[in-house]
Amino acid sequence: MSVPKKDLEPEIEIAEEDEEQSLPEADESDGVEAASGGDDSLAMGRAAIVRYAALAPAQPGVYRMIDGRGDVLYVGKAKNLKNRVRAYARPAGLDTRIERMIAATRALEFVVTRTEIEALLLEANLIKRLRPRFNVLLRDDKSFPYILITSDHWAPQILKHRGARSRPGHYFGPFASVWAVNRTINALQRAFLLRSCTDPFFENRTRPCLLHQIKRCSAPCTNELDFKDYGVLVREATAFLSGRSKAVKDELAVEMEKASAALDFERAAVYRDRLAALSAIQSHQGVNPRGVEEADVFALHQQGGFACVEAFFFRAAQNWGNRAYFPKADRAAAPGEILGAFLGQFYDDKPCPRLILISHDIEDRELLAEALSTKSGRRVEVTVPQRGEKKDLVEHARANAREALGRKLSETSSQQKLLRELAETFGLPRAPRRIEVYDNSHIQGANAVGAMIVAGPEGFCKNQYRKFNIRSVELTPGDDFAMMREVLERRFKRLIAESPRLPSPVPGEGSVQHSRTPGDGLPQGEREGVLVAPDTDEQGDSPWPDLVLIDGGQGQLNAAGEVLAALGVDIPLVAIAKGPDRDAGRETFFIPGRDSFKLPPRDPLLYFVERLRDEAHRFAIGSHRARRMRGLREAGLQEIEGIGPTRKRALLHHFGTLKAIERASVTDLMQVDGISAETARRIYGFFHEGAA
């Protein structure tokens, strides 16, 4: 829901400090102890707010509260920026969370907008981009999958789509998960026999593919069905997804009766199977409201200081799935505050329906509805239903939110216990909040890729995974130690540059800690001695790991230790090596300064570390294969033994594209002139490792 940049830039106003303006005296009468440094910090924060409030415009806009390091603490919107900012300087009446934020504030920035609606849209956009630690944050913000029936080909294709709607066609969604889309597409293929193959694959078919044999495609590629009849199937599928499912089913039932009356039982069986497929789609949808054709339902549940928002999506009077979100919010935040902030960020880059049903009223409900209406170009209603079917939908979503949060808390509790055991076993100063696991993948040094995965108290953090294409030209092919050195050096050099750590305490003044206390006064630029990570508070996460796991043995551990020592970084290192037969459960652990050891075969901690190692291995292998396939597509088919220019031309002439060759079965490959059964198996095995 971002506001066009060109509309906002002329009105940006950033408040600058007036050098001649003296700092107001701290108010000694408030007596409030702030969590970030006591009376002095709170007084300094209020003084900064008073100073910047004098410069704030009395217009709608967005304000940003900034700490002493330049990090954004909070983003808010206001109808009158001057009045809103002045409210933060009140000596009393603010809750503890706001006082902590004020105590950390040292500067403010303002962006003026034409209307309060634009301010609301811009606020959501900035929160998602800057992720301030005192705002409610939407953690999982992946785009939703859609079903697309294309319109740029004489035989439209049905496929799963995610991202920008650049291809002509009819889009249906959103669906809550890829699994829901795949299940629906499979059922629609059985019901309407639409093709799902790509255009190049379609154009180069000389006989129907396997999908036609299993009755999931009408094979328009080989004219098994003419253009007119295929168009009827496309119209029926479009009508069904558009909400006219009853009319489509009634029409199929009539055709089945006609075929049966004419004793054409084979044709009647086709209609019967199509009706069964449509019924299967609707039977898997659970809740199917009769009076709600298009709506999103959001219900919030709080427990133990955590919150869960359950979202249900209804389109064309059908339930298209649900998803649980766990926004990051202060434990004391009210339900309406969390839900309002969540909705603003949720619809920042997503289309919205005509009706949004919510479980708790929010402060700016009418303003949000007006903003979404402006953004979508049609009237959008945001309401808290009080009775009837809509109320039942919200209650159903609330029950799902309660169950999802219960499961999440249970998983988090187990994860916290494992992390505490991990800290005790590996001698860490505390349970790690961020674990980074590294692995490499290559084939005799070719297409070498390093991978880093991240895990924490809430499981795998997939949005923080990183892959590293090995670049060094001096590296000996297959040198795993050198690859590990390059990956770690690149990772931690960048981390030092982007998020500098603080020097460790002077020896004798206390032990080295992997944290720091606010206001310790240590300079950011100095790096004498060992660097230690800044601690994270309850609202923020440090990009520095508390533990680095290496997939390998003593050699990999030594290589990793050399890199970190050269960079002056002190982070606990552990290497995990597979057993002599590479069997799970017999891993050996290596830690600097300690003898290697093993964990009991059925130890839950061993399973936990194995999961971390296996996830890094999976990610590394997947990244390597993707790079390898890109290289293959660039180089052609030369890497396959026994494929010369003649056979290469024959394959491309028969299939059209390399992607089609990759998808072909052994039987399909054998149809090409000059390709024997053995060569076909070799080609298939090259594209499908371990299959031939």
- Between residues 35 and 397, the one the model is more confident about: 397
What's the fold here for domain 636-687?
Answer: DNA polymerase; domain 1 (1.10.150)
Q: For residue 690, what pLDDT is reported?
A: 46
- Per-residue pLDDT, averaged over 485-503, amounts to 81
Return the CATH superfamily for domain 434-627.
UvrC, RNAse H endonuclease domain (3.30.420.340)
Q: Is the N-terminal amide bond of 174 cis, ω within 30° of 0?
A: yes
Q: What are phi and psi of 382, to 5 degrees?
A: -115, 120
Note the pLDDT tens digit of each residue in 437-483: 998 886 655 667 888 999 988 788 888 898 888 777 666 766 788 88
Compute the mean pLDDT over every residue in the chain, rounded to the nearest whole number: 78
Q: For residue 585, what pLDDT is reported?
A: 62
Select from 204, 222, 226 the least CA-distant residue to 212.
222
Question: Has residue 292 got a pLDDT over 80?
Answer: no
Give CA torsion, residues 556, 560, 563, 565, to 10 deg. Answer: -130
What's the fold here for domain 295-408?
Answer: Nucleotidyltransferase; domain 5 (3.30.420)
Q: For residue 270, what pLDDT is reported?
A: 75
Q: For residue 77, what pLDDT is reported?
A: 92
Question: Has residue 7 got a pLDDT over 50?
Answer: no
Pairing of strands 107-112, 72-78: unpaired
Rg (CA), the chain: 30
CB 233 within 8 A of CB 192: yes
Please give the angle made by the CA atoms of 45, 46 and 47, to the nearest 5 degrees. Answer: 90
Q: For residue 434, what pLDDT is reported?
A: 92
Q: For residue 517, what pLDDT is reported?
A: 31
Q: For residue 546, what pLDDT is reported?
A: 92
Residue type, 357: L
CB 184 within 8 A of CB 241: no
Note the pLDDT tens digit of each residue in 267-280: 788 778 777 767 66
A 10 A CB-CB count for 427 gives 11
- Domains of the chain: which residue ranges? 5-130, 146-283, 295-408, 434-627, 636-687
DSSP character string of 330-384: -TT--HHHHHHHHHHHHTTSS---SEEEESS--TTHHHHHHHHHHHHTS--EEE-
Return the CATH superfamily for domain 5-130.
GIY-YIG endonuclease (3.40.1440.10)
**Equal fold, 295-408 vs 434-627:** yes
- Per-residue pLDDT, averaged over 363-376, amounts to 89
Q: CA 221, CA 234: separation in Å to the nearest integer?
A: 15
Query: Which residue in the block uniquely carries the two structure tokens 């808010």?
Result: 76
- Per-residue pLDDT, averaged over 503-507, amounts to 40
Pairing of strands 355-358, 381-383: parallel
Q: CA 453, CA 618: separation in Å to the nearest integer?
A: 10
Distances (CA, A) of 419 to 87, 100, 313, 453, 456: 42, 29, 36, 16, 8
Tokens of 556: 């990999």
Q: For residue 359, what pLDDT is reported?
A: 93
Q: What is the pTM of this model?
A: 0.61
- Between residues 444 and 326, the one the model is more confident about: 326
Q: CA 524, CA 552: separation in Å to the nearest integer?
A: 35
